[in-house]
Amino acid sequence: MSEDGGKMTSLETPKARYKQVAELLREAIKRGDYPAGSSLPSQPDLARKYSLNQSSISRAMAMLRSEGLIRTEHGKGSVVLEVPTVKRVRRIDRDYRTRPTGSSFAEELSKEGRASRTELVACEAVEAPADIAEHLRLAESEQALLRKRHMYAEGKPVQIAASYIPMSVAGSVDIAMPDVGPSGMYARIAERGFGPVRFTEDIEVRRASEDEASFLNITAGQPVFAILRTAFDKADRPVETCLNVLSALQWKLTYAWKQDVSS
Amino acid sequence: MSEDGGKMTSLETPKARYKQVAELLREAIKRGDYPAGSSLPSQPDLARKYSLNQSSISRAMAMLRSEGLIRTEHGKGSVVLEVPTVKRVRRIDRDYRTRPTGSSFAEELSKEGRASRTELVACEAVEAPADIAEHLRLAESEQALLRKRHMYAEGKPVQIAASYIPMSVAGSVDIAMPDVGPSGMYARIAERGFGPVRFTEDIEVRRASEDEASFLNITAGQPVFAILRTAFDKADRPVETCLNVLSALQWKLTYAWKQDVSS
DNA sequence: TAGTGGTCTAGACCACTGC
DNA sequence: CAGTGGTCTAGACCACTAA
């Protein structure tokens, strides 16, 4: 706290008062007065402090919430979130072999010295959602093997991953049984004669659903990356597609590749 | 209009009323009752229609605004925006030669049968912003040649592009003088001995500034892609970096590449 | 239970727009 | 000028959380 020791902090009116309150709180958070994980003062307290109505304070909080700075829980209060903006590196060049999609999640993080953990949430044959089915060119009612994982970095949830493989490619659910990483899956697929040689990644930004927000520890409606990677074999048949969902405001994506201009 | 012909539409209270109003308007927009470009009814009108206070209606509008569905102008009203979600394709494979970064903006669009236009906004030597300077590894106070463009698809603004080239690479401002596309620029740079062979693209999502929102015809604070592509020459020296800003909710990015797993 | 945040009203004032 | 949206208040009620 630098200049707001007293009870009264009169707000002038070049801008809306609730915006000024949001501004002050935003600065206080950046300054470290309210470190990540700590709670902001209650709305009645803030209302008294700034001589404002609770409604106005509530609007200020809504603003910070929509900026992804805080997370509010009914009956409890508002806690400050972390805004790490970490890099997620996906390399695309000729050096990659066994992991043609970029290194695996765990490896990317450990390279940066960050502990990580992956949790298998589901592994079963399902009817794929429409957009997935389209990418995999699934026939009517053809099922796909779904492997859904939750991924954590240093104990904190960061990504939801759902991999779909046509049952005609997977053969049976057993292919994923001794739990293996994505590179392992590609090896299994290759053994069955569907080795991937071409990849596409569609990057979309959309608003997080309630479920996604709850797991990722953000507020519903905040933008998330929905990255859909599809692998094709030599016959240009889609053999796997994987949907990754992660907070768009907290991660950067990096693509890198080499290219001879002369050739 | 399906079920709201009358004046009264009583709102039950499983959810907040302003959310229900937002929901109804959202559906009406999707249904086509309010086509893109048209205005919604005024807030007093809506307040009367739903027997609500103007404040509540205002909250509903704020919600639609934060979803990128409408754009509100003070004293005028709220107009419905378009939500195209068009694909922007960036290919990364060995077929690309003169345009190693993916085809040029104009070409991508024309491939989809969409008219496009590029407007040169600035072309001058400047002090580069800190993050740009870092990517270009600029020495203290070394200037860079800035080429800033505004890009339109079918008359509508879609992208802001700012290319920076170290003056030591560009030689002089003349290099960009007869206005050329990005491929042309790479050719010029190559003639001067700095042909790019390696590229990185950093994809970040952040909230649009007032200026960006104004040009892109979205609301300030809406998420935008900030894509920073950097080109390196054989000596691994950064020779150009280009920042593209475009609405994240209206565009998809696609990366595609080939990869021999066997090799 | 007391404290928290979320919603809503009735009424008010202001700033901006267009005529 | 009238009409628009943006803000704010005072007070109220509710739903949720914790002790």
State which amino acid sits at residue A61. M
Which residues of chain B make contact with A203, given a CB cutoff of 8 A? 203, 252-255
| Per-residue CA distances from A151 to A105, A121, A156 (Å) | 8, 10, 8
Contact B53, B12 (CB under 8 A): no
Contacts of A62 (CB under 8 A, 6+ apart): none
- Closest amino acid to nucleotide C5 (CA–C1'): A74
Q: What whole-number distance in Å separates Cα of residue B16 and Cα of residue B24? A: 13
B129 CB-to-strand D distance under 7 Å? no
Average pLDDT over residues B161-172: 86
Amino acid making up residue A8: M
What percent of chain A is helix, strand and coil (3-state, nearest 5)? 30, 35, 40
Compare A168 and A191 and report the one with higher pLDDT.
Answer: A168
Task: Judge contact between B105 and B117, C-beta under 8 A.
Answer: no
Torsion over CA of B55, B58, B62 and B67, rounded to 10 degrees?
120
In 3D space, the residue among B174, B176, B178 whose CA is nearest the CA of residue B162 turns out to be: B176
Footprint of strand C on the protein (CB under 7 A): A 40, 42-45, 54-55, 58, 61-62, 72, 74-78; B 13, 16-19, 51-56, 59, 73-76
- Residue A33's pLDDT is 94
Angle, CA of A251, B237 and B96, to the nearest 5°: 75
Token readout for A133 is 């089915």
Distance in angstroms: CA A77, C1' D15: 14
B48 sits within 7 Å of strand D by its CB = no
CB-CB contact of A46 with A57 (8 Å): yes
Residue range A123-145, pLDDT digits in tens: 999 999 999 999 999 988 899 99
Distance CA B81, CA B37 (A): 6
Question: What value does the mean pLDDT of chain A take?
Answer: 81
First vs last C-alpha separation in chain B: 61
> Which of the pair, A89 or B31, is modelled with greater confidence?
B31
Are A166 and A136 in contact by the 8 Å Cβ rule? The answer is yes
pLDDT reported for residue A144 = 94
> Which burial class, exposed, middle or buried, applies to A190 when counting CB atoms under 10 A from its CB (0-12, 13-18, 19+)?
middle
Ranges A220-229, B94-103, B147-156, B211-220: which has the least confidence: B94-103
pTM above 0.85, yes or no: no
pLDDT at residue A176 in the model: 65
**In the numeric block, which tokens belong to residue A124?**
């079963």
- Between chain A and chain B, the number of residue pairs with CB atoms below 8 A apart is 114
Q: What is the pLDDT of residue B84?
A: 63
Average pLDDT over every residue of A226-240: 92
Q: How confident is the model at residue B224 (pLDDT cuts 50, 70, 90)?
A: very high
Q: What is the distance in angstroms between the Cα of A6 and the nearest Cα belonging to chain B?
A: 32
Mean pLDDT of A198-218: 87
pLDDT band at A182 (very low <50, low <70, confident <90, very high): low
Q: What is the pLDDT of residues B180-209, one digit of tens each?
A: 555 567 777 777 777 778 888 999 999 888
A186 pLDDT above the threshold of 80: no
List the domains of chain A with CATH numbers.
Answer: 17-80 (1.10.10.10), 86-256 (3.40.1410.10)
Q: What's the pLDDT score for residue A91?
A: 63
Most confident of A112-126, B14-28, B97-111: B14-28
B1 — pLDDT class (breaks 50, 70, 90): very low
HSE-CB of B177 using CA atoms within 13 angstroms: 5
Q: Which residues of chain A neighbour B206 with C-beta distances below 8 Å? A: 249
Across the interface, of B198, B254, B263, the residue whose CB is closest to A97 is: B263
Helix residue spans in chain A (DSSP H): 17-31, 43-49, 54-66, 105-111, 130-136, 167-170, 182-191, 210-216
CB atoms A261 and B206 under 8 Å: no
User: Residue B177 — pLDDT band, cuts 50, 70, 90?
Assistant: low
- Residue A149 main-chain phi, psi, to 5 deg: -125, 150
Q: For residues B228 and B161, give the distance between their C-alpha atoms in angstroms, rounded to a whole number.
A: 10
User: Is the CB of residue B253 less than 8 Å from the CB of residue B228?
Assistant: no
B214 pLDDT band, cuts 50/70/90, is confident
- C-alpha–C-alpha distance, residues A145 and A126, integer Å: 6
- The SS3 call for residue B117 is strand
Bridge partners (DSSP) listed for residue A73: A77
Give the C-alpha separation, A209 to A192, whole Å: 36
Banded model confidence at residue B154, pLDDT cuts 50, 70, 90:
confident
Spacing of B50 CA from D10 C1' in Å? 24
A254: nearest CB among B198, B200, B257:
B200
Average pLDDT, chain B: 81
The residue among B232, B208, B228, B231 whose CA lies nearest residue B220 is B208
For the cut 60, the answer to whether the pLDDT of residue B7 exceeds it is no
Query: Contact A200/B256, CB-based, under 8 Å?
Result: yes
* Confidence category of residue B6, pLDDT binned at 50, 70, 90: very low
State mean pLDDT over A167-189.
70
Residues of A with CB under 8 A from a CB of B: 66-67, 85, 92, 94, 96-98, 100, 186, 190, 195-207, 221, 223, 225, 248-249, 252-263
Q: How far is CA B115 from CA B110, B129, B156, B241, in A?
A: 6, 32, 10, 26
Give pLDDT, residue A16: 86
Q: Pick from A103, A148, A93: which is nearest to A121 by CA? A: A148
Q: What is the pLDDT of residue A218?
A: 83
For residues A117 and A115, give the distance between their C-alpha atoms in angstroms, rounded to a whole number.
7
DSSP A232: E
Which of B188, B113, B107 has the alpha carbon at shortest distance from B145? B188
E strand intervals along B12-74: 70-73
Residue A103: pLDDT over 80 = no
Name the protein residue, with chain letter, whose CA is nearest the C1' of C16. Answer: B75
* D17 closest protein residue (CA to C1'): A75
B56 nearest nt, CA–C1': C8
Q: Which residues on chain A are in Cβ contact (under 8 Å) with B56?
A: none
Q: Categorize the per-residue pLDDT at A112 as very low, low, confident or very high, splitting at 50, 70 and 90.
A: low
pLDDT in tens, A36-88: 999 999 999 999 999 999 999 999 999 999 888 999 999 999 999 887 666 66
Q: Of B98, B197, B259, which has the smallest distance from its Cβ to A258's Cβ?
A: B197
- Tell me how far CA of residue B75 lies from CA of A199, B43, B45, B56, B211, in angstroms: 50, 11, 15, 18, 20
As a whole number of angstroms, the distance between CA A110 and CA B153 comes to 42
Contact B25, B35 (CB under 8 A): no
CB B107 within 8 A of CB B89: no
Structure tokens at B101: 């970064």
Examine the pLDDT at B245 and tell me if it is beyond 80: yes
Q: What are the start-end ranges of the H helices in B158-261?
A: 167-170, 182-191, 210-216
Q: When comparing pLDDT for A214 and B31, which is higher? A: B31
The residue written with tokens 């990517």 in the block is B135
